[in-house]
Amino acid sequence: MKKVLLTIAYNGKNYHGYQLQEELPTVALMLNRAVCAAFGFECNVTGCSRTDAGVHALGFCASVEPRNEGDEITVPIDKIPIAINIKLPSDISVLKAREVPLDFHPRYDVVSKEYIYKIHASRIKNPFYDGLALEYGREISDTGLDKMNNAAQHFVGTHKFDSFMAQGSQIEDTERTVYEAKVYRNGDLVEFSVIADGFLYNMVRIMVGTLLRVECGKISPEDIPGIINSQNREKAGFTAKPDGLYLSKIKYKP
């Protein structure tokens, strides 16, 4: 039996997140249907993560293996993306496929994940960013950008991120290690990139809301360690909209 790992990109604007949900359109639903149609039999499709409604992906990963004994994936590895993409809607695409060991797990074998959040920092909205970036409604100066980037450096390290977790979340182990965090310009966008061994529910979106409060002077960069140590959600900023959030990259053990 063969197990295949797919790397997938999708525009999450029209979906209620990745995970299967009863009677709601999700990325997993579309992917499951397309995989089964491409291979001609039922498959187990396991995603690397859950993404919220409206969140996008540049490098989401999902494993695929036959559900029933006797079924075998016979499509050549290099032809699998084409075979599945024919069955997918235009806002989801399999970028590549590779064979992995049968004991590989796309979620438990993750070493790190990278998220990128895109902010359109302009007083004039751009219709082509609708649902694909946060319309901030104001410009971000170089000084403001530096303040945001300085604040982001305080996220790096191993901390309990209770202050950056959605209220009502039932997760008890809130310790995560952030390897890298930075804010930078990319054309007419301001982007926040963060790499960690894992993320809490809404963690990146709350980080972004906090950084935007730093930009407008409501919080100073030096306040971030105190916010983290308080383990109090009310001390951090607002939860930014899902529009600008992208699961960018998954790194696995060798």
b/e code 109-126 from CB counts within 10 Å (16+ = b): bbebbbbbbbbbbbeeee
> Which distant-in-sequence residues (6+ apart) come within 8 Å of 55 by Cβ?
12, 17, 242, 245, 246, 247
Place of tokens 């607002």: 238
Residue tagged active-site, from 52, 71, 91, 109 = 52
Q: Nearest to residue 56, comparing CAs of 129, 137, 106?
A: 129
d(CA 175, CA 114): 17
What percentage of the chain's residues is helix, strand, coil (to nearest 5)? 30, 30, 40
Q: Nearest to residue 246, comparing CAs of 129, 144, 98, 151?
A: 129
Q: Is 52 considered catalytic here?
A: yes
Catalytic residue numbers, as ranges: 52
